Amino acid sequence: MKKILAAIFFLTLFLSSAKPSLAIYDPLSVPNNRVGIHIFSEKDLNDAASLVNSSGGDWGYVTLVITEGERDHDRWQKVFDQMRRLHLIPIVRLASKASGATWEKPKNEEINNWVSFLNSLNWVIQNRYIVISNEPNHADEWGGKIDPAGYAAYLKEFSQKLKDSGPDFFVLPAGLDPVTNERGFIKGMLKAEPDIFNYVDGWTSHPYPSFGINEYANELIFLKNLGVTKNFPVFITETGWSNKNLDEKNIGASLTRSFQGQWNDPRVVAVTPFILDYNAEPFSQFSWKAPDGHFYSFYDEVKNLSKTYGRPIQITSGQILAAFAQPIIVPGSDFFAIILARNTGQSIWDENLLTIKSETGDLILKSYFFDNVEPQANGLIIFKALAPPHIGLYNQAIYLSTLKGPRITDSFPIEAALVRIDKMQIQAIFDRILGYFKGP
């Protein structure tokens, strides 16, 4: 027994499984909750989840920003793990460094560092939504200069390196400010890199009311007129109403009308208004939380809107490290077994996701139990099954499977002796086993 426990320990330390080779999927091909919010800090995640996953909704979206100086694996893995537990889908916008009121122009030499960092994280769902920079048609967002050719070259190289490193990166271009010669900037991008939109997977839009909250629709028409043939799913990562222009009652009415109207568009994947909690200039006018800490009434209005129960695709994979059945089983009786397994995927394991099957299909499973097993963690699964009625050696090659069918682990053998034995003999065996552990 001690040797077996030692073997389990070392297997737990050293065994791992290869990552599945997948690819991005169309987020509109599955039930999708488009309601989201833009946040400034991970401290806002619980409030974000209460907002977007309410009233029948699940798996809403959160847009957040990671700057070059914040590439801390441990910090962001904790954020992603929390978002996984809260059923929040991250849309991650990448930023350079702020220098006063201006953001430095991103350096191409930093792309490899970004790719390495982003690949080091266990993402929440299969699609890894990445927005490359922010409103580069503003000079202060791109090192003090408007440079559509420079942005297009940067976006193309970044996308190529992300896609080469992993097929699950869903690359989004920077949202552009519609007021600041957006169309001229797009033309400049296409002139410099005619195939630039072959390197992005969706369209990012910032349709503020000053230019029309459905401006994304006009942007898509403009792209078509320029010869861009791809049908882009739309991510509205910024929008909102200033409290300098409207009171909270009218902001709530505008949000309700938009979510139920223009944004209820089959092309729109996510709408993440700017911003949940930010009470410093110049963005306090867009904050959903007041300086005294209470939420404005439009938070509850959006919270009470009917939403979709989202079903994003997660990678579900694992590895059985060890499995044991009770060594002696009475034919035709129930027996117990234990599986030690490692979660190598993205989903949190529970009885509503996984089950136990055998290669021969004749494992008669009665019940099973395990605590929630999070990604990159090991867990024990205890199950009860019915033994066949004959005596002899009982062999099963078992594996873990999702309830819908696809297996997620290789098979692992368990063995036991099917012996006709009375209760007194069973008690004697258990007494000897207990005596072994108690010692002399």
Digit-by-digit pLDDT tens for the chain (440 residues) are 333 333 333 333 333 333 445 689 999 999 999 999 999 999 999 999 999 999 999 999 999 999 999 999 999 999 999 999 999 999 999 999 998 889 999 999 999 999 999 999 999 999 999 999 999 999 999 999 999 999 999 999 999 999 999 999 999 999 999 999 999 999 999 999 999 999 999 999 999 999 999 999 999 999 999 999 999 999 999 999 999 999 999 999 999 999 999 999 999 999 999 999 999 999 999 999 999 999 999 999 999 999 999 999 999 999 999 999 999 999 999 999 999 999 999 999 999 999 999 999 999 999 999 889 999 999 999 999 999 999 999 999 999 999 988 999 999 999 999 998 666 666 666 677 667 666 66
Q: What is the model's pLDDT at position 208?
A: 96
Contact predicate 54/303, CB 8 Å: yes
Contact 344, 320 (CB under 8 A): no
Q: Give which of 122, 159, 125 is closest to 270, Cα–Cα.
A: 125
Res 4: pLDDT: 37
pLDDT of residue 21: 53
pLDDT at position 405 is: 81
Q: How far apart are CA 29 and CA 26, in angstroms?
A: 5
Cβ contacts of 436 within 8 Å, gap of 6 or more: 1
What's the confidence (pLDDT) of residue 429? 64
117: left (phi over 0), alpha (psi -120 to 50) or beta: alpha
Three-state SS at 174: coil
pLDDT at res. 420: 84
Model-level pTM?
A: 0.90
| 58 secondary structure, DSSP code | B
Nearest-angstrom CA–CA distance, 91 and 110: 20
- Structural domains of the chain in order of their starting residue, each with its CATH number: 2-15+315-438 (2.60.40.10), 27-303 (3.20.20.80)
Single out the residue of 311, 174, 330, 300 nearest to residue 237, CA to CA: 174
Quote the tokens at residue 20.
């599945």
Give pLDDT, residue 18.
Answer: 38
Q: Cis peptide before 312, with omega less than 30 degrees from 0?
A: no
